[in-house]
Every structure is written in C-alpha cells, then in structure tokens.
C-alpha cells in the first residue's frame, strides 16, 4: 500500500498537468506580445511572424514533452497495481445464484437500509426500484432459475410493507436515541410494558432491566426523563424509593433478589460510592447493554436478526472468498466439478460469532444432518445420523459404535439441535 | 486441515473484492491523461500550421495588417481554448488523485488490523458493505439511490458515481434513444484501450448505423408500409417478392417522388458508409455478407437472418454489449460485487437448519437467549434457498449438551439461564422454544447427550 501511496503522491505533487498548463500560458504570452508588436508596427509583421515561429513551436513542444512524467507515473502505478493483484483475479461469477432473484436482493437492500435507519435513502431506493424493476439475468450455471417472485408484487400486495417497517424502525431509532444520548428511559419502558407478556414468554428481562436503571437514575439525582436535577441531590434516594414502591410490584416475584439488593442500597444512600453497591450505580456500560438488548428484543419480535443480515453475509462472503477462489483454481486444474450441489466442497473458517446454529456432523458418516437424515440418539446417549443407524443396525439389535451399549433401532430417538 | 474457526485477518487475501476500487480511478486517470495529450497535440499541430501559413501569407502583398491581426486573434483563441480545456482536465486529475489517495487509505486501514473480531474491522466492513451496495445500485441503474446512499455514508470518494452515470447515459441512449452517436464518441475516446481489448463494439455500432440507413432507404423507396416500387431499382433485381397489386396504377405525386429520391440517396449513403466502416477484414465475412444482403431485403420481409438484423432487439443487444465492454475496460467484474460477496457469504453461513421444517434449538426468534440467524431472517431466507450450505467436518454444539424429553438439545448453561429468566419453579425445566406456555418437565428427566 505504501508503494501505491508514494506513486499517487508523486502524481499529485509533481507529475500533473499544471506544468503543461504553464507552458501553454507562456505560448499565449508570446502570442500576445507578438500581436502587440505587429499592431504597433504593421510593416514588420512578416519579420515578427517569422522570428516567432520557432520559439512558439518550441513552447508547444515543451508543453507536450512535460506530459511525459504523467505518462511514466501512471505507467508505474499501473505496473504496481498489476503486481499487487496478479494472484488475485476478479472473482468470476459463473454460479451466480443471486442473479435470478434480483427482486429478492432489492428487498433485502430495502430492509437493510430501513434497519440501518437510512429512511431517506430507503424511500429513494424503493421509489426508483418500483419504477424500474430489474430483470433477472440468470447465469449459465444457476441451479434454479427465476421463480416468479416479485418484490414489487409484494409491495403492491402489502406483504412487503415498507411503510410499516419504516415506522417500526423509526420507533426503534427514536427509543434508542432517547436511551443513548438523552438517557431517557421512558419511551423504552413504555414499549416494553406494552409487550410485557410477549417479552416474558421469551424469557426476556428487558422491562426489569429498564426499570432498574430508572431507579438508579432517580437515585443518583435525575428526574424521570433523565434530566439531572440541580441542587437537591439528597432527594434522589427518596424519589427512587417512591418509584420502587409504585413500579416494582409486578417484579416482586421474579426478581425478588434484585429488588432486595436495590433496597439494601438505600441504607448506603449518603455514600453509595464507597458501598458494596457501587457497581450498580456507577456503571456506564449498563446503558449500552440495555440499548443492545433492547435492539435485539425489538428485532426478534419482528422475526429479524439483531444485526443486519446483509452486513453479516457480505462480511462472511469476504472472509470466504479466498478459500472459494483457491477451490475454484484447484477444480480448474483437476478439471473436476462440484459433485454436490447442496453443499460446499470445502470448509470455510469463520469466526465463532458467525456460527448461529448448532451443527451436527455424524461421527460415522461424516455427513451433516438434514431433515431427511436427522440426528438420532441411542439409549446410551450417543448421537449418530439416521442413515448411519440404519446401516449399522440393519434393523436388528446393534452395538453403539462409541460405547458397549446395545440397543434396538426403534429405541433411538430423533433429536433436534 | 484448516482451522474450524478463526478470527485471523489476512489483509492481503482479504482484498479480493477490492481490486476495482483502485483500478477504476486509475483507468479514469489514464483516460483523462489521454484526453489531455490528444487535445494538446491537435491544437499544437493546428496552431503551428496556422502560424506558418500566416507567416507565409504576410510576406505577400495581398494581406492587410488587419487580416493578420484577425488571424492571430483566431490562433490566440485556439490557445485560450486549449488552456481552458487543460485546466478543466487538471481539476479532474486532482479529483481523481484525491479519490485514489482516499481509497488507498481505506484499504491500508485493513493492514493495521489483525483480527476479524476487532471493532475497527467491523467498522471497515460496514463501509465496505456500503461501497458494495452503491456499486450494485449504480449497476442496476438506480443512480439517485446510489448517490444518496454515498453521501449519507460519506463515502463519495470511494465510489464511482460519475463514471457510472456517464456510462448509464450512453447505455440509455442506445436502449431507449436508439442513437449510436454517444457510444461512438465514447469508443473514440477510449480507442486505444478498446484496441487492446479486442471486441466488436465499434463494428456493431457502425453496422447499426448502416442498418438504419438501409432501413430509411427502403422505407423511402417503398413507403413505410411495404408499397412496391414500380420503377424497379436495379438493386432490387432478383428479389422475388412482388406486391404489385398494392400500388398498381396509382400515380406518383410530387411528394412521393421526393420521398423516393431521398430513399435512393439513403441507400447510396449506406453503401458509402459500408465502404468506409464495414470494409472487408473488419469482421468475419459472414456478417459482412449478411450486411450486404440487407440492401436486397426490406425491413418488413420475414426472411432470416435479415429480419433479426432489422429487429429493434438489436438495440438492447448493443446496450448490453456497451456495458460489458465498458466494465471490462475499467476492470469491473461483469456481475455486481455484491452478488459475489453475498453468494459466498450465504453459502458460508447457511446450514441445513436454515430451511428446515423444525425450529432449530440453537438459533430462533422465540427466546431471548438465542439470536436469529441472518440466513433465517426474512431478508435473506428466500434468497439463500438455492445456494449450497456450508461444509462442516465437525459438530459444533454448545458445551455440556443435554436433551429434553421432547428431543430438543440445549447447552445446560443456556437452559438453566432461560428457566431462571422465565421464573420456572425450582426443580422443573421448560423448553425455550415452547416458552412459558409450553410443557414442563422435572429436572431429573433432562438427560446428558453425547455428541462426538
């Protein structure tokens, strides 16, 4: 990269058109002077003209010659580029499965823009995309061509309701803004309270976390909207106490321990800083945690993942590309094709945070479990794939490949990971 | 055997998607430079020539001083024009160099990170996604959205909105305006690069010009609907379609005669055009033969291959050909980079569970202890249906897996956490997928499961 930078700097600094422009200006000056001379002495015109032929031609030649450094600079830069990308060909896309579903991509982009809070861009995009729907251009190797799905159709039918989605995400960003920058918990608490039964069923304690934070806020001297109250800090604990009495009722059962802890802190009210409760009260990370758990819950209730899938997929794609490219080269060398269209032929190392589902690979057949070939647990607790089980048992009593346990095939149970 | 999971970031191999990022400004710089070189050369030759002829004529007696001054002013004007042109090219040059610097800077950031888990990498990757999106939007012709997104994200220097706008204009002029002039101008500007590339864009454009001339000629001679020409142009001899009864006996009025003359002229033009641009050797003889045959067949004759040469679908073909040529010339991949990144990413992330009929225990929307998998999320689910799923050679399961009586497997820790959160009574467990309304079992019924 440093090489590139130096070369561009060179182009910017010295090898640019400004020298030639100066040369042109010099010629213009010469011509102007000549014109003045001829205007002053018309009789000497032939002489003046003849005398100036060579200097002007030289001037123009110089202007052309001064382009040379640019030419050389660009050539050098081009060579460096070639060198850098020599072993990095542009990924070819012969198996571009996505090209047959342009409207699905458009939909994914629209949702990405909405969830990123780029509402203006999203509305520009939606109107442009509705006006000019893209045509699918399946590549030769595409396994399943166009399926007659249409995002524009969805828009018209209301199954893709961008207005609704925008409204939802609008609300989310409003609440997050209040939470993060204004330190105002009210909108978030209201949102969580309206959905408390759903959240509770999910095992989410978002509402409690928010109320707890509200209590702390009051305790250290802010009002219900997160605005610090000047002057009477001593009243903070009292207000918090009042808040706890009025709001903590529903939490008594599930969060008895936490409520007790907060109440215990009241005893240290004059000097929380040096109390064992300090970590509850002065914890800035708590805000970020609450904000991110809010985002996660919000998206989950919409059936969406918390981070933009487009972002995760594109990043994973960039991580996977070198491996896939290597594979492509090897296959080209050996003149082989993929034998399985359902599964990639190589393993792609992704960071652990990119593993979402548990994966079951049968220890016997080394195949991944699918709906047709699910994992089966034998009574001894070992799990193998259905097909392996059938093969080993042949329908009769058999021994587990991993322990001395014996069992009947019918005793094996399907498990879900 | 490669590592199963890895957070190591190898910047060098990570740049696969980013070649066009640097190639594009380079190609534009080159184009800019060539244009400067050409202008300078042309003007220099013209000015030198003008000056020497002026010097010569000034010696003869016929020239007046006023005339000399006038000629000098014309030369000065040319030079001023040259200077203006060079200055605007210089501005463009500066802009391009700036954007190249910004791009190098952007890519260089990658070299300062060595972990994919780095927060800086996440930020970088988000910028990259925005770049890919803008690229996709530009290619799809959603120019407004593209520039809107670029400015919203502040990445104008990392994307090539202007270049795509220009290309799109030319493409549109072919597809909708049915005009080859802008495309031919573009060919002229990039003649050198195109020569190196090979390809037949310019030939195809010239051929289209020829076809249009011939079409106009036939329409003039025969009337647009296919009236027959009684006078029998010798070019038409040997063509066996006679539709005499249609125009039989109608006297040609003046207007029609004029039209016919114009038509004949057009056909003449077409032959001249063909001689100039479609000379033997400029393409294989087969297509040249077909082109010659056009003179004999009228646009409404249902005779192949001439009908398809006359067909309006050729314009679409030309538009596509132009785009492909343009992308190759600027080292842009033929498919949007977003497609390339996404299809690789979808496959890398996809598991058999993503389109399974059973709710996965490990990633679902029904409990707060799990996150929704990006492939299962509405945005990508349908899109991922047709891509292969990732290959794994080892099971990846939560630590200390246990199985519930209903066959669902969870990590013991996560199961405990969930049950604490929903407040299940002591000694009992619930299935996170079924939630608080679901069945509950005694803790003793939860069994350890062994996954090798």
Say which DSSP state A336 is in: -
Q: Taking CB atoms and an 8 Å limit, are B348 and A371 in contact across chains?
A: no
pLDDT band at A385 (very low <50, low <70, confident <90, very high): very high
**Is 80 exceeded by the pLDDT of residue A122?**
yes
Domain final residue pick, A277, A301, A325: A301
Distance in angstroms (rounded) separating the CA atoms of residues A30 and A52: 8
Q: Are residues A200 and A169 in the same domain?
A: yes
Looking up tokens 């990308």 gives A85
**Is 70 exceeded by the pLDDT of residue A141?**
no
In this prediction, residue B61 carries a pLDDT of: 67
Domain final residue pick, A301, A326, A348: A301
Span A338-376, pLDDT tens digits? 555 678 888 888 888 888 888 899 999 998 988 889 999
Percent pLDDT > 70 in chain A is 85
Residues contacting residue A291 through CB under 8 Å, at least 6 positions apart: A176, A179, A180
**Coil, helix or strand at residue B115:** strand
- Residue A321 included in any domain: no
pLDDT band at A128 (very low <50, low <70, confident <90, very high): confident
Q: Are residues A57 and A107 in the same domain?
A: no
- Residue A262 included in any domain: yes
Q: Are residues A243 and A177 in the same domain?
A: yes
| Residue A181 or residue A94, greater confidence | A181
The β-bridge relationship of strands B409-411 and A406-407 is: unpaired
pLDDT band at B228 (very low <50, low <70, confident <90, very high): very low
In this prediction, residue B62 carries a pLDDT of: 67
Q: Are residues A112 and A199 in the same domain?
A: no
The β-bridge relationship of strands B401-403 and B409-411 is: antiparallel
Q: Are residues A121 and A231 in the same domain?
A: no
In this prediction, residue B246 carries a pLDDT of: 46
φ, ψ (nearest 5 deg) of residue B402: -130, 160
Q: Are residues A128 and A251 in the same domain?
A: no
Domain final residue pick, A301, A321, A355: A301
Span B15-42, pLDDT tens digits? 888 888 888 899 889 889 988 998 999 9
Which residues are B409's β-sheet partners? B403
Say which DSSP state B329 is in: H
In this prediction, residue B7 carries a pLDDT of: 74
Whole-number mean pLDDT of chain B?
A: 82
To probe the interface with B, which of A27, A120, A303, A317 has the most B CB atoms within 10 Å?
Answer: A317
- Residue A187 included in any domain: yes
Provide the chain B residues 348-407 that lie in CB contact (below 8 A) with chain A: 348-349, 351-354, 356-363, 365-369, 371-380, 382-383, 385-398, 403, 407
Q: Are residues A107 and A74 in the same domain?
A: no
Q: Are B40 and A20 in contact (CB under 8 A)?
A: yes
Residue B360's alpha-carbon distances to A371, B20, B371, B431, in angstroms, are 11, 40, 11, 12
Whole-number mean pLDDT of chain A?
A: 81
Q: Are residues A122 and A206 in the same domain?
A: no
Measured between beta carbons, the chain A residues lying within 8 angstroms of B369 are 203
* B93 close contact with A: CB closer than 8 A: yes
Q: Tell me the whole-structure pTM to 2 decimals.
A: 0.81
Least confident of A137-141, A173-177, B124-128, B424-428: A137-141
Q: Taking CB atoms and an 8 Å limit, are B104 and A132 in contact across chains?
A: no
Range with the largest mean pLDDT of A40-44, A78-82, B329-333 = A78-82
- Residue A228 included in any domain: yes
Q: Are residues A120 and A74 in the same domain?
A: no
Q: Are residues A29 and A78 in the same domain?
A: yes
Percent pLDDT > 90 in chain A is 13
- Residue A155 included in any domain: no
**Is 90 exceeded by the pLDDT of residue B64?**
no
**Is 70 exceeded by the pLDDT of residue B446?**
yes
- The domain in which residue A33 lies consists of 2-83
Mean pLDDT in residue range B307-335: 85
Span B349-395, pLDDT tens digits? 998 888 887 777 776 666 666 677 888 888 888 888 878 888 888 88
Count CA atoms within 13 Å of residue B4 on its CB side.
9
The pair of structure tokens assigned to A114 is 């909405």
Q: Which of B151, B147, B104, B155 is nearest to B129 (CA)?
A: B155
Nearest CA in chain B to A318: B341
Say which DSSP state B388 is in: P
Q: What's the domain count of chain A?
A: 3
Span B345-360, pLDDT tens digits? 888 899 888 888 777 7
Least confident of A40-54, B90-104, B248-262, B403-417: B248-262
Mean pLDDT in residue range B174-202: 84
Span A291-336, pLDDT tens digits? 888 888 888 888 788 788 899 999 999 888 888 888 888 877 877 6
In this prediction, residue A154 carries a pLDDT of: 52
- Residue A315 included in any domain: no
pLDDT band at B422 (very low <50, low <70, confident <90, very high): confident
The pair of structure tokens assigned to A263 is 């109440």
Q: Are residues A35 and A113 in the same domain?
A: no
Query: ipTM of this predicted complex?
Result: 0.80
> CA of B234 to nearest chain A CA: how many angstroms apart?
46
Number of helices (H), then strands (E), in chain A: 17, 6
Span A197-225, pLDDT tens digits? 888 777 788 888 888 888 888 887 766 66
Q: Taking CB atoms and an 8 Å limit, are B372 and A305 in contact across chains?
A: yes
- Residue A280 included in any domain: yes
Looking up tokens 């070369």 gives A7
In this prediction, residue A144 carries a pLDDT of: 43
Measured between beta carbons, the chain B residues lying within 8 angstroms of A351 are 5-7, 116-117
- Residue A360 included in any domain: no
Span A150-203, pLDDT tens digits? 444 554 444 456 777 788 888 888 898 888 888 888 889 988 888 888 887 777
> CA of A364 to nearest chain B CA: how many angstroms apart?
10
Percent pLDDT > 90 in chain B is 17
**Is 70 exceeded by the pLDDT of residue B328?**
yes
Helix or strand holding residue B410 (H, E): strand B409-411
Residue A281's alpha-carbon distances to A176, A218, B264, in angstroms, are 21, 10, 94
Q: Are residues A173 and A269 in the same domain?
A: yes
């Amino acid at each position: 990269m440093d090489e590139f930078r130096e070369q561009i700097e060179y182009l910017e600094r010295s090898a640019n058109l400004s020298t030639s422009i100066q040369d042109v200006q010099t010629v213009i000056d010469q011509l102007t002077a000549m014109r003045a001379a001829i205007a002053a002495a018309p009789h000497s015109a032939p002489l003046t003209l003849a005398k100036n032929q060579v200097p002007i031609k030289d001037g123009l030649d110089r202007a052309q010659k001064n382009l040379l450094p640019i030419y050389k600079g660009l050539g050098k830069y081009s060579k460096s580029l070639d060198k850098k990308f020599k072993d990095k060909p542009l990924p070819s896309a012969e198996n571009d499965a996505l090209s047959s579903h342009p409207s699905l991509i458009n939909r994914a982009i629209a949702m990405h823009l909405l969830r990123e809070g780029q509402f203006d861009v999203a509305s520009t995009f939606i109107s442009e995309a509705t006006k000019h729907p893209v045509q699918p251009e399946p590549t030769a190797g595409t396994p399943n061509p166009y399926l007659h799905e249409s995002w524009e159709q969805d828009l018209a039918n209301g199954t893709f309701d961008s207005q609704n989605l925008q409204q939802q995400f609008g609300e989310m960003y409003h609440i997050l803004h209040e939470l993060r920058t204004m330190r105002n918990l009210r909108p978030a608490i209201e949102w969580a309270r309206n959905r408390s039964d759903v959240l509770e069923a999910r095992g989410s304690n978002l509402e409690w976390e928010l109320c707890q934070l509200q209590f702390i806020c009051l305790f250290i001297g802010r009002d219900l909207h997160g605005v610090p109250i000047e002057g009477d800090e001593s009243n903070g604990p009292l207000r918090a106490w009042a808040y706890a009495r009025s709001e903590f009722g529903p939490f008594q059962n599930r969060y008895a321990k936490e409520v007790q802890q907060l109440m215990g802190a009241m005893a240290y009210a004059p000097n929380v800083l040096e109390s064992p409760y300090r970590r509850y009260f002065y914890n800035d990370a708590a805000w970020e945690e609450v904000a991110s758990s809010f985002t996660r819950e919000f998206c989950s209730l919409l059936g969406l993942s918390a981070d933009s899938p487009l972002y995760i997929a594109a990043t994973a794609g960039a991580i996977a590309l070198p491996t896939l490219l290597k594979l492509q080269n090897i296959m080209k060398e050996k003149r082989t094709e993929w034998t399985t269209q359902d599964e990639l032929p190589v393993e792609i190392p992704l960071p652990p945070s990119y593993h979402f589902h548990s994966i079951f690979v049968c220890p016997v057949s080394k195949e991944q479990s699918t709906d047709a070939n699910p994992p089966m647990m034998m009574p001894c607790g070992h799990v193998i794939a259905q097909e392996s089980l059938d093969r080993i048992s042949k329908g009769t009593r058999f021994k587990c490949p991993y322990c001395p346990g014996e069992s009947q095939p019918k005793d094996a149970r399907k498990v879900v990971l | 055997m490669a590592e199963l999971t890895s957070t190591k970031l190898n910047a060098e191999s990570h740049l696969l998607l980013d070649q066009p990022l640097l190639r594009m400004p380079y190609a534009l710089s080159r184009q800019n430079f060539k244009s400067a070189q050409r202008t300078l050369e042309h003007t220099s030759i013209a000015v030198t020539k003008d000056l020497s002829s002026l010097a010569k004529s000034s010696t003869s007696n016929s020239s007046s001083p006023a005339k000399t001054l006038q000629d000098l002013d014309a030369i000065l004007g040319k030079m001023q024009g040259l200077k203006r042109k060079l200055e605007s090219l210089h501005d463009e040059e500066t802009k391009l160099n700036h954007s190249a610097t910004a791009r190098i800077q952007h890519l260089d950031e990658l070299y300062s990170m060595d972990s994919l888990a780095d927060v800086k990498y996440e930020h970088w990757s988000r910028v990259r996604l925005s770049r890919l999106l803008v690229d996709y939007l530009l290619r799809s012709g959603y120019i407004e959205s593209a520039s809107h997104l670029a400015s919203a994200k502040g990445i104008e220097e990392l994307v090539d909105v202007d270049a795509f706008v220009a290309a799109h204009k030319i493409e549109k002029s072919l597809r909708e305006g049915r005009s080859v002039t802008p495309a031919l101008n573009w060919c002229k500007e990039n003649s050198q690069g195109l020569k190196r590339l090979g390809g037949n864009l310019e030939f195809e454009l010239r051929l289209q010009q020829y076809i249009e001339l011939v079409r106009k000629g036939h329409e003039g001679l025969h009337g647009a609907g296919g009236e027959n020409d009684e006078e029998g142009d010798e070019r038409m001899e040997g063509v066996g379609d006679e539709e005499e009864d249609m125009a039989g006996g109608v006297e040609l009025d003046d207007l029609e005669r004029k039209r016919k003359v114009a038509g004949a002229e057009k056909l003449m033009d077409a032959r001249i055009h063909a001689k100039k641009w479609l000379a033997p050797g400029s393409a294989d003889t087969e297509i040249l033969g077909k082109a010659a045959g056009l003179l004999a067949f009228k646009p409404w004759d249902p005779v192949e291959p001439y009908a398809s040469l006359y067909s309006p679908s050729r314009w679409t073909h030309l538009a596509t050909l132009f785009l492909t040529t343009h992308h190759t010339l600027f080292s842009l991949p033929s498919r949007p980079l977003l497609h390339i990144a996404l299809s690789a990413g979808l496959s890398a992330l996809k598991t058999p569970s993503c389109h399974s009929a059973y709710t996965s225990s490990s990633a679902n929307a029904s409990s707060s202890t799990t996150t929704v998998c990006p492939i299962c999320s509405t945005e990508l689910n349908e899109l991922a249906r047709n891509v292969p799923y990732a290959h794994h050679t080892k099971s990846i399961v939560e630590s200390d897996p246990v199985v519930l009586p209903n066959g669902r497997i969870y990590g013991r820790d996560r199961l405990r956490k969930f049950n604490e959160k929903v407040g299940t009574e002591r000694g009992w467990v619930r299935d996170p997928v079924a939630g608080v309304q679901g069945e509950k079992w005694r803790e003793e019924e939860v069994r350890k499961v062994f996954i090798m």
